[in-house]
Amino acid sequence: MTAMRPAVEAKGVTRVFRGTGQDSVRALDNVSVAIRENEFFTLLGPSGCGKTTLLRLIAGFDFPTDGEILLYGQDIAPLPPFKRPVNTVFQSYALFPHMTVADNIGFGLKMLGRPKVEIEARVDAMLKLVHMQELKNRRTSQISGGQQQRVALARALAPQPKVLLLDEPLSALDYKLRKEMQIELKRLQHETGITFIFVTHDQEEALTMSDRIAVMSSGNILQVGTPWDVYDHPAERFVADFIGETNFLTGTVENAGNGQAQVALRSGAKICATAAVDFRAGSNATLMVRPEHAKLVKGRGDLSGTIENIVYFGTDTHIHVRLDEGDVFMVRQQNSRSAGCGFENGTRVGISIGDDAAQLLKD
């Protein structure tokens, strides 16, 4: 099956930046990952976790200290950046302000020495792809940020790379435009069939756009999975905490097996949880419960506490409950037009955690 063939593979890649004297930074630490052909693959993680470093190694702007990068099974170490079937869209766009939109888009093809008629046809096709035909002869200094972003994409796509690397390409755009461009990028990836490797530290952007996400921290990939995998079945606490909002509860595992566990909470309640790895009975455990998977009840629940804060968000309401054990637990309720959330600050409430709501985590 061609769809499963890795387009890009990192095998045991380490990149150490040596500073002056003793200090050195291990930006990537023995990273292995396989990115499939035609995939929208996202590298997600906090600032400094190594996302850009991995992208630069794939592009050929930098070299691994150890390990190798394969493109369709071939080690690409000997290939300089311009010989790799890979192109990059930078955060800054890096357009030429004195050139027209069309000349910017055709620039890479011109550098490759392609014939003029081919360049013109390709530029027209790219203008159509990014819906910019009308602005063909404008200088890029005379178009908006969102339009510049489209030109940068068209320019990177014009030479028909097999892989497109995108380093936080939407971060300079305002919220609405960013949302529009997210949909636009998905459409472009779908229409061109090119493998996209997208870097972001914005978890919402990663969840909405990606086929699969690699969650990174301190030079390591902690989990690779679909948006659903990493949101609903995070393998460890860092992933659960970094993606979306979540509640953590501590308890003791009573029995576990076959991906399930029963955990006794400090409140005395017993909760059934899914478990990505095996846990031994008697061990201490951290449970994760997403705020939308818990329910406030007026009587007794699995947990009990007092409402401390109610925050209205339009589509939903976040209700913060101070548990009797001391921590704050957040419940998210969807709003309806006809009624408020039905609770008030200072009210004693129970929190009910459904059978399928909790996940046991590795710390």
Ligand X SMILES: Nc1ncnc2c1ncn2[C@@H]1O[C@H](COP(=O)(O)OP(=O)(O)OP(=O)(O)O)[C@@H](O)[C@H]1O
Judged by the rule CB under 6 A, the positions of this chain that interact with ligand X are 17, 25, 27, 45, 47-53, 201
Of the two residues 149 and 304, which places its CB atom closer to ligand X in the complex?
149
For the CB of residue 209, give the shortest distance to ligand X in the complex, in Å: 17
Query: Closer to ligand X at the Cβ: 91 or 335?
Result: 91
Give min distance, CB of 188 to ligand X, in A. Answer: 23
CB-nearer residue toward ligand X: 42 or 140:
42
Please say whether the beta carbons of 224 and 212 come within 8 A: yes
Beta bridge partners of 31: 13
Q: Which is nearer to ligand X, 25 or 34 (CB)?
A: 25
Q: Shortest approach of ligand X to residue 54 CB, angstroms? A: 7
CB of 94 to ligand X, least distance (A): 16
Helix (H) or strand (E) holding 358: strand 358-361
Q: What angle do CA 275, 263, 346 make, to 5 degrees?
A: 115
Written as six digits, the tokens of 262 are: 């029963």
Least spacing, CB of residue 50 vs ligand X, in Å: 4
Find how far residue 143's CA is from the centre of its chain.
29
* Alpha helices per DSSP H over the chain: 51-59, 101-111, 116-129, 145-157, 175-192, 203-209, 227-232, 237-242
Q: 3-class DSSP state for residue 165?
A: strand
By beta-carbon proximity to ligand X, the closer residue of 53 and 147 is 53
Q: Are 182 and 154 a contacting pair, CB within 8 Å? A: no
- For residues 66, 67, 69 and 75, what is the CA-based torsion angle, rounded to 10 degrees? 100
Q: Which of 245, 268, 328 is nearest to 349 (CA)?
A: 328
Cβ proximity of 84 and 74 under 8 Å: no
| Residue 68 or 202 with smaller CB distance to ligand X | 202
Q: How far is the CB of 22 from ligand X (least distance, A)?
A: 14
Residue closer to ligand X by CB (options 17, 96) is 17
Smallest distance from the beta carbon of 169 to ligand X, in angstroms?
13
